[in-house]
Amino acid sequence: MNSRLFRSFLVTAVVIGATLRIALPAPGQNTPSAARVPATASATTPAKAKPWTPPRTSWGDPDIQGWFSNRTEDATPLERPAQFEGRRLEDVKGEELAAIKRQAQERTVNQFKNDPLSAPEHWWQDALKIVDGTQAWLVVDPPEGKIPATTAQSRVRAAARTAARRGHGPADSWEDRSLYDRCITRGLPGSMMPAIYGNSYQIVQAPGFVVIRYEMIHETRVIPLDGSAHVAPEIRSYMGDPRGHWEGDTLVVDTTNFRDESAYRNANGATLRLIERFRRVAADKVLWSVTVDDPETWVKPWTFAMHLTIDDSQPVLEYSCHEGNYGLRNILSAARAEEKKAADEAAKKSIAAPKGAAAQKDVPAQQR
């Protein structure tokens, strides 16, 4: 998407937003009065905070709007590390969790500081905030925190992909690079997962719709809440086809119809189903979970979860990845330079070999 088209999209979005009178809450506006602790209390009676009540939109839906980030979970492993074998996620907390986060921070920072080819410093400064992370790993079901085994069908597909790649280098063509490298998509749920930068998301609501904007790759999901059926199976897209509904205070989003190229963890795009749940659990936090269900890839469904934190200092910015994708251009040009170097060295060896053989003939046999 070029800049002019992107600006046109933004203008259209603003007009639609004005028509629907959508207004994001100002900082602190999502904190209902019931959640505030009284400023004063009796000297003899301790103050009691009233139970927190999730806010509502003007039309009555649970209000989950805002600018969010999950950058504090950068470097949090997806599965339970071996050091926590036999332990529950909720038991790893306090100073132990803080120590784990400090170690993850050090690894992340050192990875970039000690690599001369790494991203510029301002890209990975978010790693300095991962010590605020709330969990030691992300998989919450199965309880052991491990992704279930893959199916026989999945292993057959993986072998076929490997065979199809045989003879191809990692950068023979732009098609050898990931959709992320090519500025096309990070897919789902990848677009919501922590990365070294661009960890901002915006959730906007209107009657009958929820919209999620992702800073990374500037993708937007429009989620209808009207109870309509998914599109026909042959219509598939990188981010899938979402349909949402409310279960109490929880937004449940059922997404299907994925393209194979973007299906999560090499799942089967035709059979993959992702069930997301968004529930505001505090004035500044939404708990987001994803159940991954694909009987063609895993022996049973599995779920991971993390908190999204309101961060008004991190608005969604224009990503502009395609406008001068120097990363992809440099990857391909570097591969061509390496190929030329290898070809030149091979040519030099082929020229030198005959001379050496001829000289060998002139040496007396007793000296050989």
- For residue 108, the enclosing domain spans 64-310
pLDDT digits (tens, 9 = 90+) for 184-202: 999 999 999 987 777 889 9
Q: Is residue 321 part of a domain?
A: no
Instruction: Name beta bridge partners: 211.
Output: 204, 222
Q: Is residue 78 part of a domain?
A: yes
Q: Decide if 130 contacts 74 (C-beta within 8 A).
A: yes
For residue 99, the surrounding DSSP H or E stretch is helix 94-113
Q: Decide if 252 contacts 225 (C-beta within 8 A).
A: no
Instruction: Give the predicted TM-score (pTM) of the model.
Output: 0.77
pLDDT digits (tens, 9 = 90+) for 17-51: 433 433 333 333 333 333 333 333 333 444 566 77
pLDDT digits (tens, 9 = 90+) for 286-296: 999 999 999 99
Q: Is residue 134 part of a domain?
A: yes
Burial of 53 (0-12, 13-18, 19+ CB in 10 A): exposed
Q: Is residue 322 part of a domain?
A: no
Q: Residue 95: its pLDDT value, please?
A: 86
Give the span between the Cα atoms of 26 and 261, in whole angstroms.
39
Burial of 305 (0-12, 13-18, 19+ CB in 10 A): middle
Confidence of residue 335 (pLDDT cuts 50, 70, 90): very high
Q: Is residue 268 part of a domain?
A: yes
Report the SS3 class of residue 278: strand
Q: Is residue 178 part of a domain?
A: yes
Q: In total, how many domains does the chain have? A: 1
Q: Is residue 356 part of a domain?
A: no
Confidence of residue 126 (pLDDT cuts 50, 70, 90): low
pLDDT digits (tens, 9 = 90+) for 142-164: 999 999 999 999 999 999 988 98
Q: Is residue 24 part of a domain?
A: no
